Structure formats: C-alpha cells, structure tokens
Chains A and B, each alone.
Chain A
Amino acid sequence: MSAKRIRWFIGVALIALMVVSVFVVSIPILFHHKLQYISFFKHCFFVLLVCSVLCLYRVLRGPTAADRIVTIDILGILIVGFCAVIGIPTGRTWYIDIGIAWTLQSFISTLALAKFLEGKDFDE
C-alpha cells in the first residue's frame, strides 16, 4: 500500500516538474504585446510528444493484442493534433489536409483491425 503511494507521489512530482518547465516559461509570452507564436507552439509540441511516449509504453507492455490496437487508434488521433499544432505557426495550410486524411484513414484501419480481432470476414 505504502509502496503504491510512494510511486504515485513520484509520478505527481514528475508531472508537476514537466508542467512547470513547459508552461511557466511560456506564460510571459501570453501577456506580451506582440504574441510570439513559435515559442508557444514549441511547448505544445513537447506535451504531445510526452503523450506519444506514454502510448508507446503501452504498445510495448500491452498484454493482449487488443491493448495494442487501442493504442494505435489513440496514436492516430494524437497525430491529428500534431498536424494542427504544426500548421498554425508555420503557415503551411496543407498540414491540416494531412490531418483530415489521417482521421478518415485511421478510422477505416481501426475498423478493419477490429474485424480482424473478431475473427470475421470484412463484409459482415
């Protein structure tokens, strides 16, 4: 029980450290007269990167195939977020096109993997 608590406190400390190091640096930018986009979106990109690393941990550890398929689905949704976050500061509009295509393609591939898991043919 106490070992569990200690692990929880270590996790909370790590998360707090990350939040401080990521966001406290960017708060002055929010009140700056001329907003500097690039710096803010760099921090956003870092948070999404940490989320992807957590997903990859579950891909490596997942006991069953279903866990890994769930994680691949979630990773697809996170990549759409990446596309939006990159697209604004660089001003390249085609990143969001990649996001739309990735949403639909990830949906189709998840359905195909679920059907495969169920052990059926692809035409129900």
Chain B
Amino acid sequence: MRSKIVLFILAYILWALLNWVPDWQHLLVGVFVSVFVVYLTAGLFPTRFKYLFDIKRYLWALYFIPVFLYECIRANFDVAYRVIHPDLPIKPGIVKIKTGLKSDIALTFLANSITLTPGTMTVDIDRSNGILYIHWINVRDTDIEGATKLIAGKFERILKGIFE
C-alpha cells in the first residue's frame, strides 16, 4: 500500500510537469490519471519504504551527479579525438569485471553509467555471479582485477552508498 502511495506521488508530479503552468482542471484530471497508472503498474515498482527517508542516501546521490557529469563529458572528448584522428587509434576488445553490488536497480545504474563513460559499453550481465562483460574501445588491462579498478572503481562505492 505504501509503495502505491509513493508511486502515485511520483506519477502526479510527472503529470504536473507535463502540463506546466498547472491550473485546477489539469490537476483534477491528473488525480484520475495517476490512480489509473498506479492500478495498472503497481506490481512493477517494489519500494523499500524504510530507505526513503535516509538523508545519507540523498547526499550520496548529490555527490554522484558531478562525478557522473565529469566522466560523461570526458568520454565525449575522448571519443571525438579517436574519431577525427587520421589513423583511428582504437584497440577494441571485450573484458569482464566483477562487482559486489547485488540489487537490481544498483546493477542497472552501474551498467548505464559504464555505458556513458569513456570508451566502455556493457554487453551482458551475469547477475548470479556479479560479472559484467564490457566492450572497451582501448583495452589497457585484460585481467579481472585491473579492469574492475579502472572501469568501475569510481562508481561502485557511490552506488553502494545510494542503493545498499
């Protein structure tokens, strides 16, 4: 029940943003639409309610945003340099890394962050062993420990602070 209330509030905020400069007619219709959405998709969003008011997680999330943006912009300059260089300085390959994260949402965020950072892209996830297969555009280290430290070292600690 409480997860349904959280989902209702999120859907209602999204509705209000989509009909920006909200007036009372839009807000009234939004109540019915949000109730309908919650009725349809309530089973898909299990919320662990006791974590929702933990202020430390929000601080970790605030710390995550600038780190992620910095890596993202560096990724773009890296790829642009490789594209416009006349000899195409690439050395691609698929390596595997090991992660300690367990929950679904943390793994999703880790895979998406890895996809948006310099030269790395997640190909497949083996969830039972915690192994991610990464396509790397410029392979610098082929064994598991070195690759884990180079690719996922920055994000893993922060994501553990946010989601676990």
Contact mask for chain B residues 14-58; partner A; CB cutoff 8 A; 1 contact, 0 none:
000010000000000000000000000000000000000000000
User: CB-nearest residue of chain B relative to A93?
Assistant: B20
Within 8 A of B (CB), among A1-47: 4-5, 8
A4–B86 alpha-carbon span in the complex (Å):
8
A42–B18 alpha-carbon span in the complex (Å):
28
What's the least CB distance linking B12 to chain A, in Å?
18
Question: What B residues does A4 contact at CB under 8 A?
Answer: 86
A4–B87 alpha-carbon span in the complex (Å):
9
A5–B87 alpha-carbon span in the complex (Å):
9
A8–B88 alpha-carbon span in the complex (Å):
11
A100–B18 alpha-carbon span in the complex (Å):
10
Question: What A residues does B86 contact at CB under 8 A?
Answer: 4-5, 8
What's the least CB distance linking A82 to chain B, in Å?
21
Within 8 A of A (CB), among B35-84: none
A5–B18 alpha-carbon span in the complex (Å):
51
User: CB-nearest residue of chain A relative to B87?
Assistant: A4
What's the least CB distance linking A110 to chain B, in Å?
14
Within 8 A of B (CB), among A88-118: 100
A65–B18 alpha-carbon span in the complex (Å):
36
A17–B115 alpha-carbon span in the complex (Å):
33
A76–B18 alpha-carbon span in the complex (Å):
21
A115–B86 alpha-carbon span in the complex (Å):
36
What's the least CB distance linking B132 to chain A, in Å?
18
A100–B20 alpha-carbon span in the complex (Å):
14
A8–B87 alpha-carbon span in the complex (Å):
9
Contact mask for chain B residues 88-129; partner A; CB cutoff 8 A; 1 contact, 0 none:
000000000000000000000000000000000000000000
* Cβ-closest 3 pairs across A and B: A8-B86, A5-B86, A4-B86
* B interface residues with partner A (beta carbon < 8 Å): 18, 86
Chosen A-B contacts, 4 in total, with CB atoms closer than 8 Å, are A4-B86, A5-B86, A8-B86, A100-B18
